[in-house]
């Protein structure tokens, strides 16, 4: 379990994340998303919709390994998510922007 997975689980339990491509897209377009997450296994159409919406509205978008989003949130087949602004979101952004550190 990665630190991002743990934060995704916390976001899910606290209601700070919207799961599913259509719902995440709606949150991004409404300006309520501070971070968008996309599963690497998402279809090309889903990728384009989410990527274009994030680029247009200036929302950071990060790709997650295939299946990590679904596993971390406890919901099957979720390919996209929008995270509301808050401490958990800011910590996730911090972790996602750090360069990979070598394992010790």
Tens digit of each residue's pLDDT (9 = 90 or more) over 68-104: 998 888 888 899 999 999 999 999 999 988 776 444 3
Of the pLDDT bands very low, low, confident and very high (cuts 50, 70, 90), residue 49 is very high
Within a domain: 62? yes
Number of domains making up the chain: 1
CA angle 77, 33, 94 (to 5 degrees): 90
The pLDDT > 90 percentage for the chain reads 69
Within a domain: 102? no
CATH of the domain at 67: 3.30.1330.30
Q: Phi and psi at residue 54, in whole multiples of 5°?
A: -65, -45
The conformational region for residue 3 under phi > 0 = left, psi -120 to 50 = alpha, else beta, is alpha
Within a domain: 101? no
Q: Phi and psi at residue 49, in whole multiples of 5°?
A: -60, -50
Contact 42, 61 (CB under 8 A): no
Residue 86: domain span: 3-96
Read off the pTM.
0.88
């Amino acid at each position: 379990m990665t630190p991002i997975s743990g934060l995704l689980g916390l976001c899910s339990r606290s209601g700070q994340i919207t799961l599913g491509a259509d719902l995440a897209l709606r949150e991004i377009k409404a300006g309520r998303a501070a971070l968008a997450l996309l599963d690497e296994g998402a279809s090309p159409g889903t990728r384009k919709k989410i990527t274009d919406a994030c680029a247009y509205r200036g929302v950071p978008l990060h790709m997650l390994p295939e299946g990590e989003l679904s596993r971390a949130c406890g919901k099957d087949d979720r390919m996209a998510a929008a995270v509301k602004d808050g401490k958990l979101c800011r910590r996730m952004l911090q972790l996602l922007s750090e360069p990979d550190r070598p394992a010790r």
